[in-house]
Amino acid sequence: MQIRKTALLAMMLIVATTMVFANGGKDAAAGAAADAKPVVLRLAETHPADYPTTLGDIKFAELVKERSGGRITIEVYPGSQLGQEKAVIEQVQFGAIDFTRVSVSPLAAFVPVFNALQLPYLYRSETHMWNVLLGPIGKELFAALEPSGFVGIGWFEPGARNFYNSRRPVAKPEDLAGLKIRVQESDLMVGMVQGLGAIATPMPYGEVYSGLQTGVIDGAENNWPSYESTSHYEVAKYYTVDEHTRVPEIIIASKISMAKLSQADIDLIKQAALDAIPYQRKLWAEREKASEAKVKAGGSIITMIPDKGPWQAAMKALYDKQPSDVKYLVDRIGKVE
């Protein structure tokens, strides 16, 4: 009797164990099925569909789709359909938009240490900037995004920014005196324009054309492709090639959206963004030339600045008033090859 009881217990144990294992297997399969569920994510872009940076976003989305076997779709919404940059960054922060490609300038209003990447005359060249972005400093800055609810995904080429206005040719900083210049929604950019003796007006990108047209502002500043694609050159024909900043373009994701993905998927997304860079940079270089030719043909009057010395000197106060974490990074950026 005792033996039969023990045998029964042993059998029950085997059955129970088998059930546990079977169930464990089922859970694992369910996990894999959940991973395999298609995901659709949205990316907000301010530029029009044919702009090199938007095409870079699209390349990034294509790589993600291909490498996830069609499982992860990133829909790119160009032309500020999802809002202007500052508003979009806020939405990314609380998870209503999954990704955005923005300029570091408005992002620095949320994560101020990013000001270290947009100070005037910071980089010796485009190559210097890329070495900073793709090196340890770029990685540290990505990490600095996380406490504010963002995940750093990738960088794109921004070109150099130049001043333009509707009033007069500008050949030296003093020529800007009294002009109302639109800047991105960034305190650092306000400080930069004030340092040059002009009146800074922060304003969303999408409002600049009418601002110039109605005379609410006299000028703005941007790279050749933006000056051309927005048609600002039609209403502000004096363009000064002072190349005061290179403000990196960045793709960020919402931490809330990324928390729903596996680490393997996040890694796949980051690698895709990295691999889209050469494509965007190639298109960027082509568009810079095409835009320059187009605005010149359209009647823009170009002032070259061979000696940037006086412009750089006017920025000293801006450097001096940076907090210590920014100064520390600026110092390290200077040492990057």
Give residues in contact with ligand GTR (CB under 6 A): 46, 53, 85, 102-103, 105, 184, 205, 222-223, 226, 249
Q: Which is nearer to ligand GTR, 74 or 261 (CB)?
A: 74
Q: Which is nearer to ligand GTR, 108 or 305 (CB)?
A: 108
**Tokens standing for residue 186:** 């960034």
Q: Which is nearer to ligand GTR, 72 or 196 (CB)?
A: 196
CB of 86 to ligand GTR, least distance (A): 9
Mapping DSSP onto H, E and C, the string for 238-272 reads: EEEEEEEECCCEEEEEEHHHHCCCCHHHHHHHHHH
CB of 318 to ligand GTR, least distance (A): 18
Decide: 120 and 315 in contact? Cβ < 8 Å.
yes
Residue 98 in 3-state DSSP?
A: coil
CB of 137 to ligand GTR, least distance (A): 21
CB of 144 to ligand GTR, least distance (A): 20
CB of 265 to ligand GTR, least distance (A): 26
CB of 323 to ligand GTR, least distance (A): 23
Half-sphere exposure of 136 (CA within 13 A, CB side): 6
CB of 222 to ligand GTR, least distance (A): 5
What does the alpha-carbon distance between residue 335 and residue 328 come to, in Å, rounded to a whole number? 11
Encode 60-77: b = buried (16+ Cβ within 10 Å), e = exposed.
bbebbeebbeeebebebb
Q: Which is nearer to ligand GTR, 109 or 261 (CB)?
A: 109
What does the alpha-carbon distance between residue 130 and residue 127 come to, in Å, rounded to a whole number? 5
Q: Which is nearer to ligand GTR, 206 or 327 (CB)?
A: 206
Residue 307 in 3-state DSSP?
A: coil
Cα 171 vs. chain centroid, distance in angstroms? 30
What does the alpha-carbon distance between residue 233 and residue 255 come to, in Å, rounded to a whole number? 38
Q: Which is nearer to ligand GTR, 130 or 261 (CB)?
A: 130
Q: Which is nearer to ligand GTR, 46 or 240 (CB)?
A: 46
Cα 165 vs. chain centroid, distance in angstroms? 26
Decide: 211 and 224 in contact? Cβ < 8 Å.
no
